[in-house]
């Protein structure tokens, strides 16, 4: 029986050691989904390196490596070990897709973007004569008919209290730093509601009362989201996801999301300066609306988690210090910070490269905690320094107390606030060790 071994690599920490965890809190869907697309005559094994060890002497015929951001470098190391042992190595996922030509220097084949058409083709090619093509690039036209993911593969791992479900893929917006926009160019696909429901029901049958809707911007199609939420509501589960603050502009949709169990959303707020947002091609988000929209969402009972960026072209030392004040005033329970990183394949990367503002092209540095470009109004060293300053300040006892314990929402949804407290303590532990907390 032929065998494929899927590996999600971990990455190196600031201490140059491989990052390991006791648990995966937000497991990815890709391998359970690919496993479900694998013909019955194939054996499938999954290793998630952050919790698993890799056996380089495996009997697998193909090694399939997933790539997320700069963790592709650990993927390259793993690929080299397997190729030394004569294995066929394939890479897929966002990062390999955006730098496919580069990735091909280290692996036998790259699946660019969606694998629904490419992956079965690849296995068929291998079965014919053990030879596969260098690149498989077959974008999907719709997301209908996806098989039920083999969640069992995740249950063998130490995971948290939720499983992933996908409703849509891509995004209708085109922010110039975003990998989703770079790959999907403003396209957003949704799965039939009945098929999403089937997956959620499966998650429930497996004993989970919570799931994560993996979409990058679930308000991309408000009508679809509303229909989906109405179907989810009777299941009496809770769920988390990601979207833009525009969710708050549609009170009916906001309430529907909350009634269906949506109780934690991550929002790409990015910057507290309008010029910063404009330079990211995110001018549709208005900084003077941030506070009101956050308040509306919190008051509905949905906890706000925020993704903030440091080092945009409008940033100064003052604006970064004011970002801390913004987090305190809005009492955002789960804030995360990234240094603006120009991902290769994005318009932002092309622009900064053309303007000769990239400080290095070594992707290993592109980890979101090092400034790898020359910002317009602040030095890259200062951005690095303020990144750790803001993380330490935001995860100080004082800030945690003010944002969570004194949060007016705590009485309405005590359990989510308890969860937020656990997340904050977890992040605090990593920050104290000098490890960016947002990578696990
Ligand atoms: C879950 C998740 C995580 C989990 C992973 C847990 C785990 N180890 O299992 C956690 C939270 C730990 C995480 C961490 C990170 N992540 Co992450 N993550 C995601 C998320 C939300 C969902 C992934 C998923 O399952 N999607 C559903 C599947 C079905 O879709 P898919 O991944 O696109 O896969 C399809 C194809 O790409 C292809 N495919 C994907 N991989 C492979 C592999 C093979 C071999 C093949 C054949 C095909 C294939 O097949 C799938 C079906 O078509 C995505 C966002 C997203 N929209 O996908 C970000 C995302 C993938 N993560 C991203 C990043 C950057 C990171 C980090 C570097 C964090 C950071 N500092 O920003 C780390 C790196 C971790 C690591 N060591 O690899 C970026 C990647 C951007 C890029 N240019 O690569 C994304 C896109 C988020 C974003 N909007 O920027 N992540
Ligand atoms: S709204 Fe979010 S997912 Fe969509 S393009 Fe912008 S950053 Fe990417």
Residue 160 has pLDDT above 80, yes or no: yes
Is the shortest distance between the CB of 95 and ligand 1 below 6 Å? Answer: yes
Which residue's CA is the nearest one to ligand 1's atom 60? 68
DSSP β-bridge partners for residue 211? 163, 239
User: Which pLDDT value is given to residue 440?
Assistant: 57
Q: Which of 51, 69, 74 to mutate to test the pocket of ligand 1 (most atoms within 8 A of CB)?
A: 69
Distance 170 CA to ligand 2 centre (A): 9
Own/partner pairs, 424-431, CB within 8 angstroms, 24+ separation: 424/333, 424/334, 424/395, 424/400, 425/400, 427/391, 427/395, 428/395, 428/400, 431/388, 431/391, 431/392, 431/395
Share of the chain above pLDDT 90, in %: 93
Which residue's CA is the nearest one to ligand 1's atom 40? 93
Which token pair is 164? Answer: 């992933």
User: Phi and psi at residue 23, in whole multiples of 5°?
Assistant: -140, 155
Is the shortest distance between the CB of 333 and ligand 1 below 6 Å? Answer: no
Distance 86 CA to ligand 2 centre (A): 40
Give the residue from 228, 178, 162 showing the smallest Cα distance to 26. 162
User: Which pLDDT value is given to residue 436?
Assistant: 85
Residue 130 has pLDDT above 60, yes or no: yes
Q: How far from 349 is each of 29, 187, 342, 343, 377, CA to CA, in Å?
A: 28, 21, 5, 6, 18
Q: 56-99 pLDDT, tens per residue?
A: 999 999 999 999 999 999 999 999 999 999 999 999 999 999 99
Q: 308-320 pLDDT, tens per residue?
A: 999 999 999 999 9
Number of neighbours of residue 17 by Cβ within 10 angstroms: 9
Q: 109-129 pLDDT, tens per residue?
A: 999 999 999 999 999 999 999
Query: Measured from the CA of 33, which atom of ligand 1 is nearest?
Result: 29
Q: 330-356 pLDDT, tens per residue?
A: 999 999 999 999 999 999 999 999 999
Ligand 2 residue neighbourhood (C-beta within 6 Å): 171, 173-175, 178, 180-181, 216-217, 244, 268
- pLDDT confidence bin for 163, thresholds 50/70/90: very high
Which token pair is 268? Answer: 């790409």
User: Which pLDDT value is given to residue 412?
Assistant: 84
User: Which pLDDT value is given to residue 242?
Assistant: 96
- The string of DSSP codes covering 99-113 is THHHHTTTSSEEE-S
Mean pLDDT is lowest, of 18-27, 266-275, 391-400, for: 18-27
Nearest ligand to the C-alpha atom of residue 188: 2
CA distance 402 to 322: 17
Sheet with 109-111, side-by-side order of all strands: 43-48, 3-8, 62-66, 88-92, 109-111, 135-136
Residue 238 has pLDDT above 90, yes or no: yes
Domain with residues 3-136, CATH architecture: 3-Layer(aba) Sandwich (3.40)
Mean pLDDT of 219-230: 97
Query: Measured from the CA of 180, which atom of ligand 2 is nearest?
Result: 8
Mean pLDDT over each residue of the chain, to the nearest integer: 96
Residue 165 has pLDDT above 90, yes or no: yes
For the chain, domain boundaries: 3-136, 161-439
CA distance 418 to 420: 5
Distance 30 CA to ligand 1 centre (A): 8
Contact assessment for residue 351 and residue 345, using Cβ atoms and an 8 Å cutoff:
no
Is the shortest distance between the CB of 320 and ligand 1 below 6 Å? Answer: no
Distance 220 CA to ligand 2 centre (A): 10
Query: Measured from the CA of 436, which atom of ligand 1 is nearest?
Result: 71
Choosing among 3.40.640.10, 3.40.120.10, 3.40.50.1400, 3.80.30.20, the CATH entry for 161-439 is 3.80.30.20
Q: Is the pTM of this model over 0.85?
A: yes
Mean pLDDT of 7-21: 88
User: Which pLDDT value is given to residue 388?
Assistant: 97
Give the residue from 248, 250, 337, 249 showing the smallest Cα distance to 301. 248
């Amino acid at each position: 029986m032929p065998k494929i071994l899927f590996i999600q690599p971990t990455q190196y920490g600031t201490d140059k050691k491989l990052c390991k965890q006791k648990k995966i809190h937000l497991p990815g869907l890709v391998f359970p989904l690919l496993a479900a697309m694998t013909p019955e005559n194939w054996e499938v094994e999954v290793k998630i390196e952050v919790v698993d060890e890799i056996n380089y002497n495996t009997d697998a015929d193909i090694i399939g490596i997933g790539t997320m951001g700069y963790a592709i470098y650990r993927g390259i190391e793993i690929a080299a070990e397997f190729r030394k042992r004569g294995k066929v190595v394939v890479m897929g996922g966002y990062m390999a897709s955006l730098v496919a030509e580069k990735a091909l220097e280290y692996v036998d084949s790259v699946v660019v973007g969606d694998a629904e058409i490419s992956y079965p083709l690849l296995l068929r090619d291998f079965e014919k004569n053990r030879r596969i093509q260098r690149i498989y690039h077959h974008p999907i036209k719709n997301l209908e008919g996806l098989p039920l993911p083999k969640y069992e593969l995740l249950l063998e791992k130490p995971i948290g209290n939720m499983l992933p479900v996908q409703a849509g893929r891509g995004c209708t917006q085109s922010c110039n730093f975003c990998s989703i926009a770079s790959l999907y160019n403003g396209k957003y696909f949704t799965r039939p509601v009945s098929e999403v429901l089937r997956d959620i029901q499966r998650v429930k049958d497996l004993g989970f009362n919570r799931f994560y809707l993996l979409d990058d911007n679930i308000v991309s199609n408000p009508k679809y989201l509303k229909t989906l939420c109405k179907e989810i509501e009777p299941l009496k589960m809770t769920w988390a996801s990601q979207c833009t603050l525009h969710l708050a502009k549609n009170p009916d949709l906001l309430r529907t999301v909350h009634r269906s169990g949506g109780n934690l959303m991550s929002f790409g707020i990015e910057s507290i300066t309008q010029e910063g947002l404009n330079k990211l091609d995110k001018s549709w988000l208005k900084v003077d609306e941030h506070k009101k929209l956050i308040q509306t969402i919190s008051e509905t009972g949905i906890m706000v988690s925020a993704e903030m960026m440091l080092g945009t072209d409008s940033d100064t030392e003052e604006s970064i210090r004011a970002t801390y004040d913004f987090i305190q005033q809005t009492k955002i329970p789960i804030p995360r910070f990234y240094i603006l990183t120009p991902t290769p394949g994005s318009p932002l990367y092309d622009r900064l490269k053309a303007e000769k503002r990239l400080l290095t092209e070594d992707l290993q540095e592109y980890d979101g905690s090092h400034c790898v470009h020359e910002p317009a109004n602040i030095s890259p060293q200062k951005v690095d320094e303020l990144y750790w300053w803001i993380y330490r300040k935001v995860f100080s006892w004082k800030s945690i107390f003010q944002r969570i314990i004194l949060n007016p929402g705590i009485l309405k949804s005590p359990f989510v606030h308890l969860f937020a407290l656990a997340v904050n303590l977890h992040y605090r532990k990593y920050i104290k060790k000098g490890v960016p907390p947002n990578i696990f």
